Structure 1
């Protein structure tokens, strides 16, 4: 395991989780394959297959050249990290306790039988040699090593007279030992091996662990959208690994202010003298200083009230205090006063550390801003004499027998104009802050509709909006786009996601003026044009998209998103795994001397969201065993913790009158999730032949969500029993008093879920399909689109004189495709510079491909060359950051 002792950073887990790569120390590799290691790799192959993973050729070759001792350490560590990632480490029992020593002779037989049965059930598995899948290439298994090989690769070996040995491990092969998916030898063991998941390829890392990890540091620093909790943890860990010349390695801009504060605080801890010039150059608002103080004190620099309540600010050395006051004073009294008022309570606490009045003569703007913030009576305070004539735009105000400083800032001017119904004037003021304009765009149009009903937005105002939106960040811009383009009704329920450490949602009736489609459409067109402008860049040979991207929402409120195995954006709607049954699981472990009782529950509702039943600790069996609970555990002492399961028979639930099944986790005795040692929930795909209660199969885990934060009720997802799809919610609800259960909260949970589904209804929010279409239309003249069911591929070609906007509109609406695409996607992508955005990574990995790729679910595509940049949903949204040209 690659671990840095001073910081305790597990780089191997980091690289496995973020990139699907494994580092193999090159210094101790043998010149050729070690026979004992080759035998040990058989056991490692089998163990990985049981977890849904596959070694690619390059990684397997490197491992085969390791000594048996090194292979034992690398393989054992890899299995442990995968188990932790899947949530299986609490129940993992190694098949071979002394791996890889003393591997029994039957290991080949066991692995071969499993792989053949798995192959029979999943004909689209990737060839371990070339990466093509069985559906296109006819995948078979070699005996006795059972490595997967497509018919083309096997035919090539036969033609070259090399079919006597496995091309991956070198195991000798007898004649006739290539077993295709249609070979009857595999049928006999089919029932012995469950699972429906494509094996996820593991690649060999290209370089040492620290170098590969630091490449991700650059990506995180350059990200233009807020980081989720997992990314923030990764950033903090990577900063401890950064070399001494970190200031010179920083990107020209660190767009996300929380990220910037984390970096600046890390530099201060290293060396104040080296950090000071960086702070002076990169801090441009007072709030930046406040965030640095929060990060300096060991807290998240999010400035949330929940963080502030628990934060104890760390003392500042006097030289650092003067440095920060000098930076603040250089910002000017107006911007400084406005920023301080925006976070009043936090600055009142920070002022106790900074002592601004002590330096009122040296830093008068800071002293004036704090006098305004504190409402200091200038007549009775020593600082009053310094502000007989305060710096503009501050002024002296006489009120209630007191003399204080007064100030009308940006927000005040905007509110005055909006209250007067002057939408054009408010737009001109808001244009100075593009992000604020985007956030208030819907309100601005409402004011205009109230002032002049039915009138279009004046062209001058539309041009002002268009010019300002060129500087808006992706989040506010895409939020405004989704809000304005959807159909709205008077009195509709509107959902809000307040900033916080956990994902909460609140809904209320919206009684405000409805923005007519005719008023919002020109603004939507402006935003679409802006997205195309930002997406433009280096030309591509090809783009490959998936229709099902329209079911994936653009990530929002990522600061409070839970850590998950598969990063499904909140509000996205996805297919359930195949089969009629689903197994839900909940695992937790309580700290010493604190009993914690978590409960896994399912609430059932009909089409109209009337409560119809439940399955929880009070009702272990629902209906004709349509839902079965494994039993109530009321504590989870270390080291094993406790696990609860609920099995859902989807067909029986639907036949019993249920339409919606809502998964809920309660902390029965009112202990917040953040106080637990470990807590996570998720779901497993069940095969029809698998019926053991309490069985946890790591390879069948399809999603895992960590329970976190100051919350006691979590609603991970809503299952649509009719359509066999689920909506990923990742939400918490408020709770107090303890004794939490479905019986007590079913009305509140049902109302929340109804509002969530309405909020994320199709057409009402920006999706990854919108982003992918913009990237594709702006970057290439040929776009291939895979049907939602994966059954076919159609091509859209941009005409010679066709404007980009029209091409993008045709593609976005999936209107008038130019032709079907007969060739495979792998064939088209091989050797191309391409952009791909897919839901399933089940496309065989192309060779010599470059560009960028997004995929939600892992698969053979992950074995593509490193030159094909891997994107997350957040990365894809961040590509739409403002451009200066």
Structure 2
């Protein structure tokens, strides 16, 4: 788990906040004090700080507590204020969280229709200086500011409402209608600590902070896939803290993540004064034409993923020459192929690079651009130069009036369309990643006659493919022995949009699938075996519900980094409180976001909703806090939905989909801020603060061009929560659950089918494979606290050992309390680990990043790099 300390206003966070989120470490800005006896005032300050941290779900380690206790009062106060501010920002506790009905849930009306009728009658019939049309009272009707609606203080309770009861938009804080809020009883003693509880440790002084920033930067630079938005933000901060443009010894020779590479190289070029010293390092790492395009896009403030168009900025002449030189030394056929993939972007970039001006110095770069632009060849100097260059390139042709290349992609598509497997396999062998991405298609095309040749090619290609591609291919192919009904696609884009389509593919033969799975699993085990061997590894069985990360580029910035599709158990007998906060910007105008819950039965039939159209469902099974319809700065607006799972189950609800709709179709990224999440509450919902930071279990940003977010799905009767983290691009306006209920049902059913089918490799599976390949002893911790131990037998292969882990075929008992654990894959970091060990923990709890190498879910994937 990475506790991400996000800034709700979009401002950049500090390095201290970044390391707090990634390592759970607190750094002193002054030299560590000499040991001394703590004064009573210091101890009192520590006690207050600990109490404030506990109210936010954090604890101080013994070491950090002692360091702070020995600090001066000034140091303690400064450290405490900064620490609490960073945590409040991460939780969203630094914002006002007043709902429409301030005594929610007790004061939420039971009859939503009656409330609506009263509002409509007041708008249509109420006149100034006239008795109230609802109750007939005199001298109780007044206009509220700024909307000027006539409100009766007898019919509408100004002590409970936080906005105009007629239009439900925010009103002036000093309007006489708003009375002091009803007293809300203090929270009881039954508030349990959150599952995400984290013990903060002492990170050291400023030198230690720099060293830790370097370590975290190294981790991000080693990731093979695209970074999540939060990791991308952290990369920029860590580069400024640990990167050095004058001494590049920290810069790896190879940065496996293409988008990460583009951001790092663009950062190196950010200061023109350093161009002479950094340009050789930059161009040496440009190994494809797409690398050049990504670099230019990031440098222009665009998208490293090349999903959205970029308006390229001017490129200085020395940099222009360096980029053209980098293109010119590459295989021109491959350059032409890469340019063809991003035709429009390259045409725009070529206008900035002026390749034809350098046609004699960089002839191959000019030739590739000429093919891209379909330049007509004449008898001019440029054409003669291009023809001379083309004669030296076997794949180039100038027989027609234009330069043309025999493109690899066109040859592959033609061969597949003609079902010519013998011709397509050598082509795909040139790009093994493409073979794995198209494996299902090629196997269906091959049929029984050519399937063995495809599998032989797969065996040769697998060792050269990125780990994420192998895991994706494995998940997909192992489900292909049965006929599917629907397919779910997550197209590359700025948001995680899920698209559904009927599955019209015929199943593959069992023998073919079995061999493909064996090849891919064997490759994973082979790569894991090359990692550092350990004696004892521990795996939490609860990780079986967690999905190995995919499509992280579109993951939300969230308090708990949970891979999309993961399922976790929910505690019994507790209430879930969904929350939403947003604030308008000058660009967005008046906005109305709606937090809603759509409820379905076992057959995915829409049973009911809890939203602005129905504030209560089944009595108090689901209760809405009221529909605020504006969110002016600086207060913003808030909505909540309380869910009593026992009552929902009794009402026949099986599935519940939480949604956030933009009612008036304003994209989330036009708002000054927008975030949502959920709390797990112990006490009666009528007591305690409406927003309790201690009980926040998840908080995530609403971003991008989307108008609808589907963060999570709850299996009410199964008592589990599945993290969806997807958006939907609905058209039109007046969005609400009842308008999209059928689509939500189709989507929810398809997503559950996808994530339970095995089409996505689980983190528990990945942990088992890695532990089986690296450890002599593997201990599985079960949810009930019991353990089972497995010892790798003499001569037992890693594959056979992996199959045996988790089965009843156990070996000798292992006492974890007295055993040095060197490798751990945990739900919670509540296990003592040996110094220098490695650990993944969804919730790090008490794991100290100075003693244990903390791994993210992405690190488990990136560790399986090709040899």
Instruction: Report the TM-score range of the alignment, normalised by the length of the smaller protein.
Output: 0.7 to 0.9
Within 5 Å, which residues of 2 pair with 1:70-81? 70-81=75-86
Residue equivalent to 1:836? 824
The match for 1:759 among 748, 754, 761 is 754
Deviation of 1:232 after TM superposition, in Å, equals 0.6
Q: Which moved more, 1:549-558 or 1:200-209?
A: 200-209
Cα distance in 1, alignment partners of residues 771 and 752 from structure 2 = 29
In 2: Cα distance, 1:205 partner to 1:826 partner: 26
Q: Does 2:284 align with 1:281?
A: yes
State the match for 1:660 in structure 2. 655
1:699-848 maps to which residues of 2 (within 5 A)?
699-787=694-782, 789-811=783-805, 814-821=807-814, 823=815, 825-829=816-820, 832=821, 834-843=822-831, 845-846=832-833, 848=834
CA distance in 2, matches of 1:508, 1:61: 59
Aligned residue for 1:599, secondary structure, equals strand
- The structural deviation recorded for 1:618 is 1.2
TM-score (norm: length of structure 1): 0.83
Would you say 1:192 and 2:189 are equivalent positions?
yes
Counterpart in the other structure of 2:301: 298
Alpha-carbon deviations, 1:745-793, whole Å to 9, x = none? 1111211111111111143321112211121111111100012x23310
Contact 1:290–1:347, Cα closer than 8 Å, also in 2: yes
| Separation of aligned partners in 2, 1:881 and 1:41 | 46
1:11–1:210 contact (8 Å) kept in structure 2: no
Residue 361 to residue 31, structure 1, CA distance change in 2 (3 Å): same
- Write the mapping of 1:215-614 to structure 2, written as runs, cut at 5 A: 215-241=215-241, 242-270=243-271, 271-304=274-307, 306=308, 308=309, 311-379=310-378, 383-389=382-388, 390=390, 391-396=392-397, 403-449=401-447, 452=448, 457-458=451-452, 461-490=454-483, 492-536=485-529, 537-592=531-586, 594-614=589-609
Bigger CA drift: 390-399 or 287-296?
A: 390-399
Instruction: Report if the CA contact (8 A) 1:486-1:765 is conserved.
Output: no
Q: Compared with structure 1, are the counterparts of its residues 628 and 225 closer, same or farther at alpha carbon in structure 2 (3 Å cutoff)?
A: same
> Structure 1 residue 570: deviation in Å?
0.6
Deviation at 1:873, TM superposition (A): 0.5
How far the C-alpha of 1:8 sits from its partner, in A, is 6.2
CA contact (8 A) 2:57 2:193 kept: no
How far residue 34 of structure 1 moved from its aligned partner, in angstroms, is 3.5
1:380 & 1:606 partners in 2: Cα distance? 73
1:383 Cα deviation (Å)?
2.8
* Structure 2 unmatched ranges of 5 or more: 6-10, 99-185
Closer, same or farther in 2 for the Cα pair 1:410/1:826, shift >3 Å?
farther
CA deviations on 1:519-573 (whole Å, 9 max, x unpaired) are 1111111111111111113220200001122211110100011011111111111
Q: Is the 8 A contact 1:784 1:793 kept in 2?
A: yes
- Residues 321, 808 of structure 1: CA spacing in aligned structure 2 closer, same or farther, 3 A cutoff? same
Distance 2:495 2:710 in 1: 12
Counterpart residue number, 2:176: none
CA distance in 2, matches of 1:203, 1:774: 31
Of structures 1 and 2, the one with the larger relative CO (CA 8 A, separation 6+) is 2
- Partners of 2:327 and 2:56 in 1: how far apart? 54
Which secondary structure state, in structure 1, belongs to the residue aligned with residue 819 of structure 2?
A: helix
Question: What is the rounded CA distance, in whole Å, between the counterparts of 2:396 and 2:849 in structure 1?
Answer: 63
Q: Would the alpha carbon gap of residues 865 and 268 (structure 1) be closer, same or farther in structure 2, given more than 3 Å must change?
A: closer
Task: Determine the C-alpha separation between the residues in 2 that align with 1:865 and 1:741.
Answer: 45
Identify the residue that residue 638 of structure 1 maps to in structure 2: 633
Report what 1:12 is aligned to: 16
| Cα RMSD, aligned residues only | 2.2
Change (3 A) 1:437 1:25: same
1:40 paired residue number: 45
Tell me, yes or no, if the aligned pair for 1:423 and 1:445 is still in contact at 8 Å.
no
Q: Give the deviation of 1:797 after TM superposition.
A: 0.8
Q: Distance in 2 between matches of 1:709 and 1:288?
A: 25
Kept in 1, the 8 Å contact 2:708–2:729? The answer is: yes
> What TM-score, normalized by structure 2, do the two folds share?
0.84
CA contact (8 A) 2:612 2:626 kept: yes
Query: Is the partner of 1:760 in helix, strand or coil?
Result: helix
Match of 2:66 in 1: 61
**Aligned position for 1:142:** none
Q: For 1:828, what is the secondary structure of its paired residue? A: coil
Following TM superposition, by how much is the alpha carbon of 1:865 offset from its aligned partner in structure 2, in angstroms?
6.1
What's the CA shift for 1:191?
A: 4.4
The separation in 2 between residues aligned to 1:665 and 1:694, in whole angstroms, is 23
State whether residues 394 and 405 of structure 1, in contact with CA within 8 Å, keep that contact through their aligned partners in structure 2: no
d(CA) in 2 for partners of 1:692 and 1:750? Answer: 34
- In structure 1, the residue matched to 2:133 is none
C-alpha contact 2:188 2:688 (8 A) present in aligned 1: no
- 1:58 Cα shift? 0.8
Unpaired runs of 5+ residues, structure 1, are 94-188
CA distance in 2, matches of 1:826, 1:796: 17
Instruction: Give the count of matched residue pairs.
Output: 760
Shift of 1:430: 1.3
Q: CA deviation at 1:381?
A: 6.8
Q: Please give the alpha-carbon distance, in whole angstroms, between the structure 2 residues aligned to 1:656 and 1:397.
A: 73
Q: 1:741 to 1:85 in 2, by over 3 A?
A: same
Deviation >4 Å, runs of 4+: none
CA contact (8 A) 2:96 2:636 kept: no
User: Shift in Å at residue 479 of structure 1?
Assistant: 0.3
Q: 1:423 & 1:12 partners in 2: Cα distance?
A: 56
Alpha-carbon contact 1:83-1:92 (below 8 Å) kept:
no
Q: CA separation of 1:519/1:456 partners in 2, compared to 1, >3 Å: closer, same or farther? A: farther
Aligned to 1:870: 854
Q: Map 1:843-858 to 2 at 5 A.
A: 843=831, 845-846=832-833, 848-858=834-844
Contact 1:664 1:715 in 2 (8 A): yes
Q: Give the 3 Å change call, closer, same or farther, for CA 456–694 of structure 1 in structure 2.
A: farther
**For the residues of structure 2 that align with 1:357 and 1:84, how far apart are their CA atoms?**
52
> Residue in 1 aligned with 2:664?
669
